[in-house]
Amino acid sequence: MDYLLNLVARHKAGEPAGIHSVCSAHPLVLEAAVETAVVRGLPVLVEATSNQVNQDGGYTGMTPAAFREFVYGIADRAGLAREHVLLGGDHLGPNAWQHEPAETAMAKAQVLIEQYVTAGFRKIHLDCSMSCAGDPVPLPDAVVAERAALLCGVAERAWRAAGGEPPVYVVGTEVPVPGGAHEDLETLSVTTPASAAATIAAHRAAFGAVGLDAAWPRVIALVVQPGVEFDHHKVIDYVPENAVALSRFIDREPTLVYEAHSTDYQTPANLAALVRDHFAILKVGPGLTFALRETLWALADIEDEMFGDGSDFKNAVLEVMRAEPDYWRKYYVHADGDPRRIRFDQQFSLSDRIRYYWPHPAVQQAQARLLAQLERTPPPLTLLSQYLPVQYAAVRDGRLPNRPADLLKEGVARVLRQYMDACAGRGVTKELETCW
């Protein structure tokens, strides 16, 4: 994790340096992330959440060790050295078991942390903010910090047993629960300096109380709310003026920057402003799979124009979502129960609940038929221009092959390059720069 420690040091020295964190398990998203990193000569930071990857498999079916091998396989094929793959764990704590008593949930969280660190994950977000069964709501800062320190001790012991670089840590969690905002976006509040100070003080004291003073300098970031969020069809943009006090506060902490979650769908200028204002770690997840879905939908429209009776990809996906509603039912709720509005949200919501359905066997089969059809008969330029104009321009310039997989990855790479430019201190991405 020397790269991240050096990045924080550079940022604290006045350089507007940052890094984006790719929070996705979709293979095409990860291929795009790795390939853009190769082109830029940068490492790639990939994070898994405790719900996504855990000792029970999570919703991806992968343990931490299996996810590591999954990501390494993608990196190997792209020619990115494994030492340039930074693996992180997000919201690591009792989140996946919060319906259980705290003692039970924290015991499982300890196993989770040990497996992540033993598997080589070295950026660890310690998040014990959620109340478990029988806990007060919300949890006092001291209890949150005490539990985080317990998990940090597990991580330290696991690292020493496994060898390699020591972990770096992120604390704090002023972000919505997984799945998107559940509050009124019009009243979204920026974290106050007093709240940030209390979180830092509680965690520093808790670390010291259990003999983890040596680990504290490796706490590199605090998760706060800079005033950015999105719901199904609305984005709250970053307003630097609203975060001035918060931005200035972190100047007094020599080893800390901020980590910003829910930065998906921010403009390139907003992303650059966030990095400048010390939100040096930018998390992005749904925004990448949303871009993937946009491109898949465009390819399905192209196929329909070309063949009329092709894979029927869109309907195949939506039928699976209708038959298995667990991943979207409690999110896409309308008082009138209008099925048209639900179908609209299933496809176009910024919370992108559709991302949970891409691994489904029926969806995978329909996608394979779609891509095979367009691999055999590449889209004509006229339809590329109509449905994928940015990819069309790159194809015309000879910078992008007219192959469905490349067209898909370019849809994701456009978003990734906005983050890379912001983290390099550039406010406007070169939209037509392609990475293939």
**Predicted local distance difference test score (pLDDT) of residue 176:** 45
Residues 6 or more apart whose CB falls under 8 angstroms from that of 273 comprise: 238, 240, 427
Domain final residue pick, 284, 315, 345: 284
- Measured CA to CA, the distance from residue 120 to residue 118 in angstroms comes to 5
At 236, list the tokens: 């709250």
Domain final residue pick, 244, 267, 284: 284
**Predicted local distance difference test score (pLDDT) of residue 427:** 56
CATH number, residue 369? 1.10.400.20
Q: What is the mean pLDDT of residues 364-391?
A: 97
Q: What is the mean pLDDT of residues 396-413?
A: 97
429, pLDDT greater than 90: no
**Predicted local distance difference test score (pLDDT) of residue 337:** 80
One domain, residues 257 and 338: no
**pLDDT tens for each residue of 54-112:** 999 999 999 999 999 999 999 999 999 999 999 999 999 999 999 999 999 999 999 99
29, pLDDT greater than 60: yes
Does a structural domain hold residue 368?
Answer: yes
**Predicted local distance difference test score (pLDDT) of residue 311:** 87
Reference 391, options 404, 372, 375; nearest CA is: 404
CATH number, residue 54? 3.20.20.70
* Structural domains counted in the chain: 2
Whose tokens are 């991580």? That residue is 155
One domain, residues 378 and 278: no
- Measured CA to CA, the distance from residue 31 to residue 87 in angstroms comes to 15
- Measured CA to CA, the distance from residue 129 to residue 92 in angstroms comes to 10
Q: What is the mean pLDDT of residues 255-266?
A: 97
Average confidence score pLDDT of the chain: 94
- Measured CA to CA, the distance from residue 129 to residue 65 in angstroms comes to 25
Residues 6 or more apart whose CB falls under 8 angstroms from that of 108 comprise: 55, 94, 96, 97, 100
Whose tokens are 């509005």? That residue is 341
**Predicted local distance difference test score (pLDDT) of residue 333:** 85
One domain, residues 49 and 87: yes
One domain, residues 329 and 388: yes
Does a structural domain hold residue 434?
Answer: no
Which one-letter DSSP state was computed for residue 378? P
At 375, list the tokens: 């691999």
Does a structural domain hold residue 159?
Answer: yes
Q: What is the mean pLDDT of residues 314-327?
A: 96
One domain, residues 251 and 278: yes
One domain, residues 269 and 303: no
Domain range for 31: 2-284
Does a structural domain hold residue 336?
Answer: yes
**Predicted local distance difference test score (pLDDT) of residue 184:** 55
**pLDDT tens for each residue of 225-250:** 999 999 999 999 999 999 999 999 99
One domain, residues 344 and 365: yes
**Predicted local distance difference test score (pLDDT) of residue 334:** 79
Torsion on CA atoms 13, 15, 16, 21, rounded to nearest 10: -80
Does a structural domain hold residue 260?
Answer: yes
**Predicted local distance difference test score (pLDDT) of residue 246:** 98
What is residue 120's three-state secondary structure? coil
432, pLDDT greater than 90: no
Name the band, by pLDDT with cuts 50, 70 and 90, for residue 179.
Answer: very low
Name the band, by pLDDT with cuts 50, 70 and 90, for residue 426.
Answer: confident
- The residue type at 59: Y
One domain, residues 174 and 261: yes
At 302, list the tokens: 């192209």
**Predicted local distance difference test score (pLDDT) of residue 425:** 85
Name the band, by pLDDT with cuts 50, 70 and 90, for residue 336.
Answer: confident
401, pLDDT greater than 80: yes
One domain, residues 187 and 240: yes
pLDDT, greater one: 1 or 183: 1
Does a structural domain hold residue 402?
Answer: yes
One domain, residues 341 and 234: no
One domain, residues 97 and 233: yes
- As beta bridge partners, residue 236 has 229
Buried b (16+ CB within 10 A) or exposed e, 238-249: beeeebeebbeb
At 378, list the tokens: 């590449």
**Predicted local distance difference test score (pLDDT) of residue 70:** 98
**Predicted local distance difference test score (pLDDT) of residue 120:** 98
One domain, residues 217 and 258: yes
Does a structural domain hold residue 210?
Answer: yes
- The residue type at 219: V
**pLDDT tens for each residue of 124-145:** 999 999 999 999 999 999 999 9
- Measured CA to CA, the distance from residue 269 to residue 138 in angstroms comes to 35
Does a structural domain hold residue 361?
Answer: yes
289-303, 323-337, 347-361: range with lowest mean pLDDT: 323-337
